[in-house]
């Protein structure tokens, strides 16, 4: 690939990358990938991407390797061949994120990711930096709060019988009975790479009718069961209603 074409490709890819960042931020789908506290970083990244696009444009008339040694015919100069291959490899690799980002529908991690990652029954209390979260009113507690409560409260048994009202997506775990499912959320500290799933088991007779990844609101009373040797919240549900996906599908510990 000659330098001029490479510069135009750099320009196109950087403009596309800046636009991709901006579009994800404006649509809110950036939160499928990162913790909300990094939104400003992505906005800065979008601005810098447009700046780098200008850099590619400014370099469109740079002399090519071939121009430096015009005596060698095209195809016979090893330096030129290396440079051309290297540009092709760089431009090809840098187009991969855009191909995947624009070619596949944006989706948050869901039940399929739990299959390979497993559940994190040991939700980090320290990551919140706030032990007071265990004091939140029962109806306002998230799945993460309940997982913390049954693992770290001074008297976990005291949560039995408290009212629960949580939102999460449906995940069917084969270790549970046919009348049960998991209502789950992912917590993300930095980006989707560190996502860890937390869940509560739900007793619901029509469990088999619920499709994985459907977002539901579960109301009922809390009990405690055991999962992989750790205490797990168990909700004896009185209602399970479909609901829309939250603006932030992940929780931030």
Closest listed residue to residue 232, CA positions, set 220, 219, 222: 222
Contact call for residue 14 and other proteins (CB under 8 A): yes
Of 28 and 51, CB closest to other proteins: 51
Shortest separation between residue 20's beta carbon and other proteins, angstroms: 8
Which pairs count as long-range contacts for 92-96, CB under 8 Å and 24+ apart, including other chains? 94/13, 95/13
Shortest separation between residue 234's beta carbon and other proteins, angstroms: 23
Contact call for residue 32 and other proteins (CB under 8 A): yes
Contact call for residue 52 and other proteins (CB under 8 A): yes
Contact call for residue 147 and other proteins (CB under 8 A): no
Of 21 and 204, CB closest to other proteins: 21
Contact call for residue 28 and other proteins (CB under 8 A): no
Per DSSP bridges, beta strands 196-203 and 230-242 are parallel
Contact call for residue 208 and other proteins (CB under 8 A): no
Contact call for residue 88 and other proteins (CB under 8 A): no
143, with CB counted inside 10 A (0-12, 13-18, 19+), is: buried
The residue from 28, 67, 69, 118 that contacts other proteins (CB under 8 A) is 118
Per DSSP bridges, beta strands 180-187 and 230-242 are unpaired
Measured over the CA atoms of residue 191, residue 197, residue 200 and residue 206, the dihedral's sign is: positive
Of all helices (H) and strands (E), which one includes residue 56? Answer: helix 39-58
Q: Which residue stretch of 50-58, 136-144, 150-158, 171-179 sits at the interface with other proteins (rule: CB under 8 A)?
A: 50-58
Of 144 and 222, CB closest to other proteins: 144
Shortest separation between residue 46's beta carbon and other proteins, angstroms: 8
As given in the structure block, the two tokens for residue 88 are 């092709």
Contact call for residue 191 and other proteins (CB under 8 A): yes
Contact call for residue 192 and other proteins (CB under 8 A): yes
Which pairs count as long-range contacts for 230-233, CB under 8 Å and 24+ apart, including other chains? 230/121, 230/122, 230/151, 231/121, 231/150, 231/151, 231/156, 232/121, 232/147, 232/150, 232/199, 232/200, 232/201, 233/143, 233/146, 233/147, 233/149, 233/150, 233/159, 233/164, 233/200, 233/201
Contact call for residue 48 and other proteins (CB under 8 A): yes
Contact call for residue 104 and other proteins (CB under 8 A): yes
Site of interaction with other proteins (CB under 8 A):
10, 14, 17, 21, 24, 30, 32-34, 38, 41-42, 44-45, 48-49, 51-56, 58-59, 62, 89-91, 93-94, 96-97, 100-101, 104, 107-113, 115-118, 120, 127, 189-196
């Amino acid at each position: 690939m000659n330098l001029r074409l490479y510069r135009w490709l750099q320009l196109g890819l950087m403009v596309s990358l800046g636009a991709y960042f901006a579009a994800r931020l404006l649509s809110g789908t950036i939160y499928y990938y990162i913790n909300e506290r990094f939104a400003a970083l992505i906005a800065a990244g979008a601005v810098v991407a447009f700046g780098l696009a200008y850099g590619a444009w400014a370099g469109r008339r740079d002399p090519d390797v071939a121009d430096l040694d015009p005596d060698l015919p095209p195809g016979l100069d090893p330096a030129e061949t290396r440079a051309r291959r290297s540009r092709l490899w760089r431009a090809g690799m840098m187009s991969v994120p855009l191909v995947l980002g624009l070619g596949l529908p944006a989706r948050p991690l869901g039940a399929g990711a739990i299959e390979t990652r497993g559940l994190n029954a040991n939700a980090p209390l320290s990551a919140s930096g706030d032990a007071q979260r265990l004091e939140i009113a029962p109806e306002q507690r998230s799945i993460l709060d309940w997982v913390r409560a049954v693992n770290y409260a001074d008297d976990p048994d005291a949560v039995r019988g408290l009212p629960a009202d949580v939102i999460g997506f449906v995940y069917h775990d084969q270790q549970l009975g046919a009348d049960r499912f998991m209502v789950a959320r992912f917590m993300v500290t930095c980006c989707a790479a560190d996502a860890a799933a937390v869940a509560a088991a739900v007793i619901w007779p029509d469990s088999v009718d619920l499709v994985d990844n459907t977002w539901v609101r579960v109301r009922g009373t809390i009990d405690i069961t055991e999962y992989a040797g750790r205490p797990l919240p168990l909700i004896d549900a009185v209602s399970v209603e479909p609901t829309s996906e939250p603006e932030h599908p992940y929780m931030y510990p």
